[in-house]
Amino acid sequence: MRKTRSNDILTYLFFVVLAAFIWFAYAMNTSRTVHYTVPISYVGMANNVVLSGSLPHEVTIEVMDKGALLRTYVRHPLSLHVNIAEQTTQQEGRIVISTEDLRRATGALLQGTTSLLGIQPDMIEGRYYTLQEKIVPVLFSGTYRAAQQYHITGEPTITPKEVTLYGSRLSLDTIHAVYTASQEVLVDADSLRVSIPLIVLPEVRMSETEGVIAFRAEEFTEKKMMVPVTVLGTPDDKNVHLFPAEVEVTLSVAIKQFAAIGVADVQATCLYPQVNEAQLPVSIQYTHSGIFNARVYPAMIDYLVEEKK
């Protein structure tokens, strides 16, 4: 009994496979109508030509052929290349691919036995414009500060200093500079380079999208010294005695140049006293490039003016 049922199942499966084979063979030799989506690429225009978003990126075609031949379009998908070189020679304008030209270009992709029944859209229309060029400076829009015990020397430098913009004349006329993204930088080394993205402008292409900000700094320490005070503008017939005659100056100096900085690099001065001036303010001047800052104590000193004998 079991053997008979097994034979029945095998017989059933045999006829199912046979029927499928017959149906497949019939389908492959019968004309059918199908739809395919064909991507479009536009070629022939210069690199600085921009196409409007209204131009389609694909078309849908309806074709008829035998099933066996239609399968070749599945194994080898179609791709339509539309040459628009002759239509993009001006600064801007329209692009029109007529129904006839579109059907001709699409039909050239099909095998000789395949009939093109329809295409959607049946024509292509859009606009283009040629990008103009403009070179503008790159400006740092962030903030920076020195870490503790560091002093920033000079202004930071930006690379590149300029970028080339590509866009419509209307867009470029309103742009005078490209800015870095807003970012706070802590300068904590003698030499620091930071990559910062540039702000991408709408409807504009940029030759660079990232900049490098370079900082130079020096680590500093403090150096104290006693400096004599000089009175400026003293009349020839007067003597001015100061109390004290020397002041303590505290300098912020570059560590690398600590030993090279001496009293000769610092001047402490005050102006000849005016009438009823109780004390004289002390000013500090320094010329050495390794000195960043100076404090003086005392900042006000007593004096005595006498006639020369």
Per residue in 282-306, pLDDT tens?
A: 999 998 988 989 999 999 999 999 9
Distance CA 280, CA 277 (A): 7
Q: Domains along the chain? A: 28-129 (2.170.120.30), 132-219 (2.170.120.40), 221-307 (2.170.120.30)
Q: What is the distance of C-alpha 219 from the center of its chain? A: 31
In which element (H, E) is residue 151 found?
A: strand 150-152
Which pLDDT score, from 0 to 100, does residue 25 have? 46
Q: Tens of pLDDT along 107-131?
A: 898 888 888 899 999 899 999 888 8
The pLDDT, as a whole number, for residue 11 is 64
pLDDT confidence bin for 48, thresholds 50/70/90: confident
Q: What is the mean pLDDT of the chain?
A: 86
Tell me how far apart the alpha carbons of residues 260 and 77 are, in angstroms, rounded to a whole number.
78
Residue 228 has pLDDT above 70, yes or no: yes
pLDDT at 226 over 90: yes
Please, what sign has the CA dihedral across residues 103, 104, 105, 106?
Answer: positive
pLDDT at 245 over 60: yes
Please give the model's pTM, rounded to 2 decimal places: 0.51
| pLDDT, position 28 | 47
Q: Looking at the chain, how many residues does it have?
A: 309
pLDDT at 137 over 90: yes
264 by DSSP, 3-state: which?
A: helix
Mean pLDDT of 247-271: 93
Token pair listed for 103: 């059907």
